[in-house]
Amino acid sequence: MPIYEYLCRDCRKRSTSLMLSLSSSTAPACKHCGSQSVDRLMSKFSSPKSEEARRASLSDPDNLDGLDENDPESVSRFMKHMGDEMGEDVEQDVEAMMDSADSEASDDGSTDSQ
């Protein structure tokens, strides 16, 4: 049973779908916004890593190259990379944290002017 990835043309987010039947030719709806307007993507080849290999990869100092803890976009990229290494889909969590940080920054800016 293949797993396919789709990119939504409306919200630009990726979704995965397990196809229980190869005869099903219709693309599934986006799991984020429900749109039927999705494009099937070429999936990356995946090989599972052992827990030891994941820890070794995370402890590599090269993973910190380009990380600027004062730049939210840099931290976001780093967190997504770490999620990928751990086999976790953290994109939505990272986006929610970025949105929260943006609204906190906006709130802080509005209270400073009072």
What is the reported pLDDT for 98? 78
pLDDT over 70, % of the chain: 77
- As a whole number of angstroms, the distance between CA 7 and CA 99 comes to 22
Query: What are the structural domain ranges in the chain?
Result: 3-41, 51-109
pTM for this structure? 0.40
The CA distance from 82 to 80, in Å, is: 5
* CA atoms of 9 and 105, how far apart (whole Å): 30
pLDDT tens digits, one per residue of 15-68: 888 777 666 667 688 889 999 999 888 766 666 677 787 777 777 777 777 788
CA 40 vs CA 7, 14, 17: distances in Å: 6, 10, 10
Q: Cα–Cα distance between 29 and 38 in angstroms, integer?
A: 7
pLDDT at 10 > cutoff 90:
yes
